[in-house]
């Protein structure tokens, strides 16, 4: 796997938080392209079930329970992966703490902030520290940092998701820094910003149910499927794009947002 374009046959791919949702769809699609999948999730039974379903469909996958907020569990995952695969070619950081915080800034206790940052930011850092040194040593590999369209194109739903959006903004900074650090050492970096995506069978989203999208422009409130989001990521990996975003019209919206000096109160999407 080069830092420019990525092909997947026989590649060793580790995805965190892939027992369900977007991570699961990415795992299924990459397995169908011939990749060997490691599905790591806090939900160990879900990770095992996802891997078993991929194997039943003819793919190659194993499941591991791993809480990315635990140094010990990430170390144990790294040891198991090293023993079985000898390293990882593509690391997709995707796991996320439940995004909804109980209300506005004056009503969120510090534990919620700590938890969001420990999983969503330091969880990614733990995984990078565990798997990127091997990539650097081999001079090849690729990492995906999953942020959110809300981090590059905010809307008023973010007022109800403050620890989440703070963590997703931090991941922009992480991806920017890595994009200077890693490619000269043979490791590519992709910043993945999914747009609103339904991870439910009924096609709905919790943030819509809770009314967080009331007053948000209709252009960004129609949820995509996980299959669509996964397809956008895989196409972006293939093309070597740094930013991969599955929100329709995102490039034009970014230009409009920039023209408004990144003032979120403006009209840009």
Ligand X SMILES: NC(=O)c1ccc[n+]([C@@H]2O[C@H](COP(=O)([O-])OP(=O)(O)OC[C@H]3O[C@@H](n4cnc5c(N)ncnc54)[C@H](O)[C@@H]3O)[C@@H](O)[C@H]2O)c1
∠ CA(90), CA(91), CA(97), 5° rounding? 155
> Which residue is nearest to ligand X, using beta carbons?
21
Given 11, 155, 190, 199, the residue binding ligand X (CB under 6 A): 199
Name the residue nearer to ligand X (CB basis): 65 or 185. 65
Q: Is 138 left (phi over 0), alpha (psi -120 to 50) or beta?
A: alpha
Sketch the per residue contact string, 85 through 104, with ligand X: x for CB under 6 A, - otherwise.
Answer: ---------xxxx-------
Interface with ligand X, residue 20, by CB under 6 A: yes
Given 38, 119, 144, 232, the residue binding ligand X (CB under 6 A): 119
Given 196, 213, 237, 254, the residue binding ligand X (CB under 6 A): 196
CA atoms within 13 A on the CB side of 102: 6
We find the least distance from the C-beta atom of residue 170 to ligand X, in angstroms, to be: 12
We find the least distance from the C-beta atom of residue 10 to ligand X, in angstroms, to be: 25
- Residues that bind ligand X (rule: CB under 6 A) add up to a total of 28
Interface with ligand X, residue 21, by CB under 6 A: yes
Distance CA 105, CA 99 (A): 14
Tokens representing 142 are 């690729």
Give the Å distances, CA to CA, from 4 to 117, 184, 242: 30, 11, 10
Interface with ligand X, residue 160, by CB under 6 A: no
Distance CA 55, CA 47 (A): 12
CA atoms within 13 A on the CB side of 254: 13
85, 124, 164, 176: which one is catalytic? Answer: 164
Interface with ligand X, residue 16, by CB under 6 A: yes
Residue in the structure block whose two tokens are 């995509």:
224
Is 164 annotated in the active site?
A: yes
Interface with ligand X, residue 22, by CB under 6 A: yes
Name the residue nearer to ligand X (CB basis): 140 or 159. 159
Distance CA 45, CA 91 (A): 21
End-to-end Cα separation, the chain, in angstroms: 35
Interface with ligand X, residue 236, by CB under 6 A: no
Residues known to be catalytic: 164
Residues that bind ligand X (CB under 6 A): 16-17, 19-23, 41-43, 46, 66-69, 94-97, 119, 123, 146, 148-149, 194, 196-197, 199
């Amino acid at each position: 796997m080069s830092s420019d374009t990525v092909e997947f046959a026989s590649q060793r791919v580790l995805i965190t938080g892939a027992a369900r949702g977007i991570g699961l769809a990415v795992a299924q699609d990459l397995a169908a392209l011939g990749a060997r999948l490691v599905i790591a999730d806090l939900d160990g039974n879900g990770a095992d079930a996802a891997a078993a379903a991929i194997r039943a469909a003819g793919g190659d996958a194993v499941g591991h329970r791993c809480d990315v907020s635990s140094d010990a569990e990430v170390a144990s995952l790294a040891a198991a992966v090293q023993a079985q695969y000898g390293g990882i070619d593509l690391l997709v950081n995707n796991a996320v703490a439940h995004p909804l915080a109980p209300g506005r800034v004056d009503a969120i206790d510090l534990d919620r902030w700590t938890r969001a940052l420990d999983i969503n930011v330091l969880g990614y850092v733990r995984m990078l520290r565990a798997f990127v040194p091997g990539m650097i040593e081999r001079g090849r590999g690729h990492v995906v940092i999953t942020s959110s369209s809300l981090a590059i194109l905010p809307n008023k739903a973010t007022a109800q998701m403050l620890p989440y959006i703070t963590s997703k903004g931090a991941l922009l900074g992480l991806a920017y820094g890595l994009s200077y650090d890693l490619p000269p050492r043979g490791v590519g970096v992709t910043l993945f910003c999914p747009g609103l995506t339904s991870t439910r069978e009924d096609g709905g989203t919790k943030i819509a149910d809770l009314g967080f999208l009331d007053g948000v422009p209709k252009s960004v409130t129609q949820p995509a499927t996980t299959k669509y989001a996964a397809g956008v990521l895989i196409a972006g990996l293939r093309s070597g794009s740094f930013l991969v975003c599955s929100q329709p019209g995102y490039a034009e919206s970014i230009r409009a947002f920039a023209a408004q000096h990144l003032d979120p109160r403006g009209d840009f999407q």
